[in-house]
Amino acid sequence: MQPFSDEDTSIETMSHCSGFSDPASVTEDAPEVDEEAAQEDFEYKLKGLIDLTMDKSAKTRQSALEGLKNALTSKILYEFILERRMTLTDCIERCIKKGKNDEQCAAAGLACLLCVQLGSGIESEEIIKTLAPILKKILGDGAASIQARQACATCLGVCCFIATDDITELYSTMECLENIFTKSYQKERNLNGISSTQSTSLHISALLAWTLLLTICPMSEVKKKLEMHLHKFPILLSSDNVNMRIAAGETLALLFEMARETDGDFFYEDMEPLTQKLRALATDGNKHRAKVDKRKQRSVFRDVLRAVEEHDFPTETVKFGPERMYIDCWVKKQTYDTFKEILGTGMQYHLQSNELLRNVFELGPPLMLDEAALKTMKIPRFERHLYNSAAFKARTKARSKCRDKRVDVGEVF
């Protein structure tokens, strides 16, 4: 027997979710409330949300999933999640399997956040092992909603990036994503074909997830992927969709960056027509395109052109608390953009406190500094820039070498 009507459950869900609608709301009353009591109340609400993900009402389940997502975005909850990871995984699995569209999207987003919270250990591996078959099935199901398939593509990319140490699973996931975005190759070649904005959005999500996973592939695999795709990506630069043009351009810049790292004598045969195309997009004045789209496109393709022609990247600075992080290569930009999309307004908080993100970006252990220490901590900007750049590249190469060894062992036999 269902304990609540839909109206009752909506009210119940709102009461649980209201505290998580804004990350700041989690701690805004902290000075006036006993910390232990506040934590107990917080966890009580979370437990209520977990229970509501199994409710009969789809609206209630979705609201509960969104409430959990907001909580995981705004606070580090490692211990709480660790004790309930199997329950949470079961809830997510059920919502992805039996839910529709928005509920599936919310569940896939929650799976990403679970892995972000738990880090790259065995707990996250268990989550992706359970969910990967379901995510891949929906991703390849033409009858499923485009939005759900997009969410599954992103979830596969993020969770595999965090948790998968199995080289075979990594390659399998990338192949699954390739089967989606490579359909845009044929579509762009067929000038008489009907362009579908929705399917293009799916292809973009699959492409971005694939690109993220490429950054942790062994160098031998990177070379294979370059041979397969580098000469095809320029086709996507002619897409009617501005977001596809931008995704293809940024992926090209990243591929050129990786190609030059793997091969000091790298040479691209069709460099002249490619740079002409990139230059045209960097100065696009097409009257049929929206001003906002043109402005965004020109900005991105100026940077892409510099990357392809001059091997250059415009450094960006990310500030969080007393710290600074320099994004000075396309690999790092792709990684940062992905996690920012997942964490939203919680990105700065997680950069300060989340061990996974601090490991990914080589930021070291979370800082525990008082105000006096912050004032005396004045590392020269250029010195910080050099350190961050070297550390990030060292991490990427180390992961690639580790995976290379696994591949070499398999190839011997």
**pLDDT exceeds cutoff 90 at 191:** no
Nearest CA among 238, 229, 280 for reference residue 256: 229
pLDDT of residue 4: 35
Percent of the chain past pLDDT 90, that is, above it, reads 66
Q: How many angstroms from the chain centroid is the CA of residue 350?
A: 14
Name the CATH topology of 13-27+34-185+198-217: Leucine-rich Repeat Variant (1.25.10)
Q: How many angstroms from the chain centroid is the CA of residue 46?
A: 24
pLDDT in tens, 367-397: 875 444 444 445 555 555 565 666 666 666 6
Q: Which of 3-17, 113-127, 186-200, 257-271 has the lowest mean pLDDT?
A: 3-17
Nearest CA among 118, 55, 127 for reference residue 87: 127
**pLDDT exceeds cutoff 50 at 311:** yes
64 within 8 A of 13, measured Cβ to Cβ: yes
**pLDDT exceeds cutoff 60 at 269:** yes
Concatenating the DSSP letter of every residue in 52-90 gives HTT-S-HHHHHHHHHHHHHHHHHS--HHHHHHHHHHHHH
- The residue that leads in pLDDT, 408 or 137, is 137
- Give 32's pLDDT tier (boundaries 50, 70, 90): low
**Domains of the chain, residue spans:** 13-27+34-185+198-217, 219-301, 316-361+377-407
Q: What is the mean pLDDT of the chain?
A: 84
pLDDT of residue 186: 80
Cα–Cα distance measured from residue 380 to residue 116, given in angstroms and rounded to the nearest whole number: 31
What is the model's pTM?
A: 0.82
Phi first, then psi: give them for residue 325, nearest 5 degrees. Answer: -130, 135
- Give 161's pLDDT tier (boundaries 50, 70, 90): very high
pLDDT in tens, 49-77: 999 999 999 999 999 999 999 999 999 99
pLDDT of residue 206: 98
Instruction: Evaluate the CA torsion angle 233, 237, 239, 241 in order and state its sign.
Output: positive
* DSSP SS3 for 325: strand
- Give 36's pLDDT tier (boundaries 50, 70, 90): confident
Maximum average pLDDT range among 6-20, 160-174, 273-287, 360-374: 160-174
Nearest CA among 218, 229, 217 for reference residue 161: 217
